[in-house]
Structure 1
């Protein structure tokens, strides 16, 4: 089973995302801030990671994940509220794999990750 981590300051966003992604057969963990996410990733690095762009330390978290052993293999989704080119480019420079628009829902998460959970 592939591991997924949702890093967002909002409990609601994490809970909704966890419920949807768990139903897609991911093993989902949560982190409420960048520091907690980094500590959890040092213990067990996920296959997929959603990082809220509005969270303090989001770009540093991405950079630090990329510097870890196996960190280059993590698919990191930088989650933005709007398609702000400056913010998107900053995420890409830090090492984000792709972007996700917030708020996301079941339809969006299923379309993006639905066929990936079983592909180990």
Structure 2
């Protein structure tokens, strides 16, 4: 059975790249257009991994992570930030919110697959 990943990003081109890259590696991808959309989809379906951007309308990545971590079925699910934010302060906030890891855009597709495989196999 394919591992399911929720990709949350307000950029359609980033969502397409993430989806294409991870589908090619055998993962099943669900896309969300912002944090609120991502949270709604996470409530209606279970995912093995969540990839989220930080800067999005309606709900940012840190708020999404905090909301997910408050849900019993997402307490231990890996959540990776995929964002242009690379500052230490933002990374510390991400870790405090419950992010498992951090990838900076633009991302290398091979590196993304490598990290995902490390995290969920």
What's the TM-score, normalizing by structure 2? 0.89
For residues 63 and 10 of structure 1, the distance between their equivalents in structure 2, rounded to whole angstroms, comes to 22
**For residue 93 of structure 1, what is the aligned residue in structure 2?**
96
CA shift for structure 1 position 116: 5.8
**For residue 115 of structure 2, what is the aligned residue in structure 1?**
112
Matches within 5 A, 1:1-120: 1-56=2-57, 57=59, 58-114=61-117, 119=121
Q: Which has the higher contact order (CA 8 A, sep 6+)?
A: 1
For residues 104 and 43 of structure 2, the distance between their equivalents in structure 1, rounded to whole angstroms, comes to 27
What's the TM-score, normalizing by structure 1? 0.89
Change beyond 3 A, Cα 1:82–1:60? closer
Count of aligned pairs between the two proteins: 118
Listed as ranges, the gaps of 5+ residues in structure 1 are: none
Is the contact made by 2:10 and 2:33 (CA closer than 8 Å) also made in structure 1? yes
Root mean square deviation, CA, Å:
1.6
Query: Which piece of structure 1 moves more, 55-64 or 26-35?
Result: 55-64
Listed as ranges, the gaps of 5+ residues in structure 2 are: none
What are the superposed Cα offsets for residues 44-95 of structure 1, whole Å, 9 maximum, x if unpaired? 1311111101224221110111111221121101123142011111111111
CA shift for structure 1 position 113: 2.2
